[in-house]
Chains A and B, each alone.
Chain A
């Protein structure tokens, strides 16, 4: 059994942590584009009901000095933001009519 990535209060999200706790937008966007809608729907269905709890949990901690498990939880919320567009709006991983267009995020806040 590997070390859990998330705080114990969020143990039921652990099955998604290895795939979706990603530090950069580039990784999160790539994961979204390479995932099926079924995979993203399963992640969304599990995480969305706990999103408010997760934000509230991280909110109590200093943003510039978060313990690793809280940081992973925050990254999971970022990934939830990322998949919310395919799940809630597009019904497909890609942005409609975006074709080969890309937009790289080369500088982003940490965390």
Chain B
């Protein structure tokens, strides 16, 4: 397949600020750089922590552990139906306010008010303190001064974001920018059949983002996954993305997809033929009419998927076959992170539709486990510092961009705090 590249001759040259030089991965192996990223990026950027479907009713809540920012937040739908977020800490003596059995684990549920397990202080869903046990024992205490500490919270396209910046952050929509907000009319809210995966991965968060933002690796690393991938002509052809686009700190790759239903059975796994499904999703797609223009924005064919890499650690991947998935990469140290993958489908009406979704989900895991383990192999050898410069090709433009944006945000932070 011949892909037309921009007039400059390459995707990378189309964005000259990226340069074409070999790259350093010091930003993925340096504990000092990671400490700066925590302050410069994760305490200043909008972060997606879930979807509105996780808060179906007034009083619905969930907690999100944000180890990268040394905090936990509780996200709640209040009595007016508004979604709010608070630091998950009791104002009395600092106990974690909302948790179940294990203080470090996330939880969710429904309540009328939050009650601290330690001394029984109560908070309304809007965060105000409504009850202090033995209030008369305190000294000049006014409950109005002891509400929960709010966290900036906003919703876009059903995705709930928080921002831990103490100052007023850039508005969420403005932060997301035109390329990302152009997909807001995608029917995310109709795709509520959810498979939620998570794992701790022994690699810097940016290395796993890199793994899923280039497909140059696909014909090699995943060669044994299917008969077609193993064919010599497929191996020789390698991979070319149909379209790459950058918008501020965000990135997009559009590519073609497997069209299993057009292939002869000998080029497929037998189970793919029976379930009419595979890596690219159920072959018999639901009818999602009127996709917004922001999906497949360059209108490339044969369109297979768009992978929107939303700064800093959130990915929305929209498949041509009428489903989407999200990835989140939550740093836990300079050389480890928590990976979350969520697959979302239209709720199946029949067992046949459900089996096709199961096949897609199981296939996803087979690929992701290959990717995840390769990263640990990358991390350990990068840490050797035997080699400090690495050539990236034009299909790896998004990796180049991610690391540049991280460096830019850290530089901005350093500049803002110079002499402090």
Contact = CB atoms under 8 A, between A and B. Distances in A.
Max count, chain A CB within 10 A of own CB: residue among B193, B225, B369: B369
Interface in B355-402: 355, 357-359, 361-363, 365-366, 368-370, 372-374, 376
A3 interface: no
Contacts of B100: none
A108 B275 CA distance: 19
A101 interface: yes
A66 B348 CA distance: 14
A1 interface: no
B226 A102 contact: no
Contacts, number: 114
Most buried by A among B194, B351, B355, B370: B351
A78 B197 contact: no
B274 interface: yes
Interface string B248-277: 000000000000000000000111001100
Contacts of B369: 95, 98, 101-103
A98 to B, nearest CB: 4
Contact of A105 (B196, B357, B370): B196
| Interface size band for B | 35 or more
B271 A80 contact: yes
Contact of B274 (A52, A61, A82, A108): A52
Contacts of B275: 55, 81
Contacts of A66: 351
Nearest to A104: B198
B161 to A, nearest CB: 20
Interface string A15-58: 00000000001000100000000000000000010011001101
A102 B365 CA distance: 9
Interface residues of A, number: 39
Contacts of A81: 271, 275, 355, 358-359, 362
A74 interface: yes
Contacts of B300: none
A102 to B, nearest CB: 5
Contacts of A105: 195-197, 361, 365
B414 interface: no
Given A89-B269, A106-B198, A108-B195, A82 B225 contact: no
A103 B196 contact: no
Contact of B271 (A84, A100, A109): A84
B104 interface: no
Contacts of A59: 350-352
**Chain B at the A interface: mostly helix, strand, loop or mixed?**
helix
B411 to A, nearest CB: 34
A96 interface: yes
A11 interface: no
A100 B354 CA distance: 30
A89 B350 CA distance: 28
A74 B357 CA distance: 13
Contact of A101 (B196, B349, B376): B376
Contact of A89 (B196, B225, B354): B225
Contacts of B359: 81
B274 A109 contact: no
Interface in B328-358: 339, 341, 348-352, 354-355, 357-358
B351 A103 contact: no
Nearest to B369: A98
A103 B341 contact: yes
Contact of A104 (B199, B201, B355): B199
B269 A103 contact: no
B373 A98 contact: yes
Nearest to A108: B195
A109 B195 contact: yes
B351 A74 contact: yes
Nearest to B340: A106
Contacts of A55: 274-275, 351-352, 355
A103 B368 contact: yes
A103 B372 contact: yes
Contacts of B193: 109
Contacts of B270: 48, 84, 88
Interface of B: 193-199, 201, 224-226, 269-271, 274-275, 339, 341, 348-352, 354-355, 357-359, 361-363, 365-366, 368-370, 372-374, 376
Q: Which 3 A-B pairs have the closest CB atoms?
A: A58-B351, A84-B271, A107-B196
Given A51-B271, A102-B369, A107-B196, 9 more contacts: A55-B351, A63-B351, A85-B366, A88-B270, A100-B373, A101-B201, A101-B372, A105-B195, A105-B197
16 contacts: A25-B362, A55-B275, A55-B352, A56-B352, A63-B351, A77-B355, A81-B275, A82-B362, A88-B271, A89-B226, A95-B369, A103-B339, A103-B372, A105-B196, A109-B195, A109-B354
